[in-house]
Amino acid sequence: MSFTNDQLERYSRHIILKEVGVKGQKKLLKSKVLIIGTGGLGAPAAMFLAAAGVGTIGLVDSDNVELSNLQRQIIHLTKDVGKPKVVSGQETINEMNPDVNVVTYQEWVSSANIIGIIKDQDYDFIIDGTDNFPAKFLINDACVLTEKPFSHAGIIRFHGQTMTYVPGQGPCYRCIFKNPPPPDAVPTCKQAGVLGVMGGIIGTIQATEAIKYVLGIGELLTGQLLTYDALDMDFRKIKLPLVKDCPVCGESAKIKELIDYEGAVCELKQN
Amino acid sequence: MSAIKANSYVDITDVLCPITFVKAKVAIEELEDGQILEIKMNGGEPLNNVPRSLKDEGHKVVQVEDHGNGTYTVFVKKGDL
Amino acid sequence: MKIIVNGNEVVLDKEVVVKELLDKQKVSMQQYVTVQVYDDIISRDDFEKIALKEGDSVEFLYFMGGGAQ
Ligand SMILES: [Zn+2]
């Protein structure tokens, strides 16, 4: 594969970087990243991965674009209201970068379909951009069981957090958080509100992790939880322990099959 | 001028920064360590920057020829990074 | 005694267990907070049993949803 002149120009700022170069840009163009949820986190992540020339981007979301999404889900435009989010996301990416092949899955992830979606294109890296705990635990367990690296993240109000799981290189989400909280026990951003830029900051960090993983450069957020407080403008990296008795990634893991946890009442329409 | 035998040739006189360096970098990445790339470039900004950027990446500028018409030929030996 | 909670120094007039520290720091919904002391994740069943020592580094880790909606 050799670059066209347009590609040389489009990716010139990458190619100039010693850490990326021609080889790295080719790796990006051959890479496949799955983004689950095309909302506050997934939208900016998808846009930066598309701009970077990630060759295949999978988008998973069952929702349609609503006016209230547009305050933060920047991949969708006012004219897209009412459209399936995956279609709107695909159109934006196609207009941005013709090098990217977008694969859409207009559905919610569940124990029944998530492995099939991950294996559909044998994705290299998965981004959790979902807003609910059943999905977050499902994505974690599916990635552990299929040995896929993924980026977890959550945002609420003025706070965000993210960590990266790489098989065999650090704790998974369940190591730290064990089980989902009961439905409605912990507010999601629909109930609590969220500053629009939070997804931009944390989702872009998730995209950065995906790019670094594909390129094999730098230090990932494995074994570390990065927390961000926008009001104090404070980033902290918390070192996380490896949990030997984790029920899904531990030495004698009990979870061998995926679990569909019950969602909060206000999220029921998703399930 | 001495006869340096280049393994590959690229002309970057028809492009502007940063594509000048990008084209040179793409060409040199296709070579094996120790092989030589012959680059035709304009004087001024390209001549000031492209050889320096290639040096920063671990390659060695072995010879510069001035054609007397504002263009130059720079021979660069690929280093191992 | 002094301990470090989420990176900030907290001064306590006496030794406390995890549960008392959560109360003192006004952490709500304590059953959904993950507490890490150095390299150990403390089981929620042990919040009333585990005492914190001078200089301990404690992290409260919170569930954070949000994203897609
Ligand atoms: Zn685990």
CB atoms within 10 A of CB A5: 11
In degrees and rounded to multiples of 5, residue A31 shows phi and psi of -80, 160
Chains contacting C (3 or more CB pairs within 8 Å): A
Query: Would you state the pLDDT for residue A79?
Result: 98
| 3 state SS of A177 | helix
**B27-46 confidence digits (pLDDT tens):** 999 999 999 999 999 999 99
Check if the beta carbon of residue A127 is closer than 8 Å to that of residue A185.
no
Give the architecture-level CATH label for domain C2-62: Roll (3.10)
For chain A, where are the E strands, in sequence order?
32-36, 56-60, 101-105, 125-128, 150-156, 159-165, 224-229, 234-239
Classify residue A123 as exposed, middle or buried by CB count within 10 Å of its CB (0-12, 13-18, 19+): buried
Beta-carbon separation of B26 and A22 below 8 A? yes
C-alpha B58, offset from chain centre: 13
Whole-model pTM over 0.90:
yes
For chain B, where are the E strands, in sequence order?
8-11, 36-42, 60-66, 71-77
Classify residue A20 as exposed, middle or buried by CB count within 10 Å of its CB (0-12, 13-18, 19+): buried
**A170-220 confidence digits (pLDDT tens):** 999 999 999 998 887 777 666 789 999 999 999 999 999 999 999 999 999
Residue with tokens 């598309």: A50
Is A201 at the interface with chain C, CB within 8 A?
Answer: no
Chain A interface disruption, residue of B22, B57, B80, most A CBs within 10 A: B22
Percent of chain A with pLDDT over 70: 96
Domain ranges of chain A: 31-239
ipTM of the complex: 0.89
Check if the beta carbon of residue A195 is closer than 8 Å to that of residue A240.
no
The residues of C whose Cβ lies within 8 A of any Cβ of A are 6-7, 29, 32, 34, 36, 39-41, 59, 61-69
Domains and CATH numbers, chain B: 8-77 (3.30.110.40)
Domain A31-239 CATH (choose: 3.40.50.720, 1.10.760.10, 3.40.1030.10, 3.40.50.2000) = 3.40.50.720
At least 3 CB pairs under 8 A between chains C and B: no
Catalytic residues of B, by residue number, are: 17
Cα-Cα-Cα-Cα torsion B29, B35, B41, B43, nearest 10 degrees, comes to 110
Chain C interface disruption, residue of A34, A131, A152, most C CBs within 10 A: A131
Token pair recorded at residue B4:
């340096």
- Ligand 1 centroid to residue A176 C-alpha, Å: 7
Is B23 at the interface with chain A, CB within 8 A?
Answer: yes
* Residue whose C-alpha is closest to residue B8's, from B37, B39, B40, B50: B37
CB pairs under 8 A between A and C: 100
- Residue C13 is classified by DSSP as S
CA distance A203 to A128: 9
Between CA A5 and CA A7, with CA A6 as vertex, the angle to 5 degrees is: 90
Secondary structure tally for chain C: helices H, strands E? 1, 5
Mean pLDDT value across residues B55-73 = 96
Query: Would you state the pLDDT for residue A270?
Result: 39
Mean pLDDT value across residues A242-262 = 92
Put simply, the chain B residues between 27 and 46 with a CB less than 8 A from any chain A CB are 29
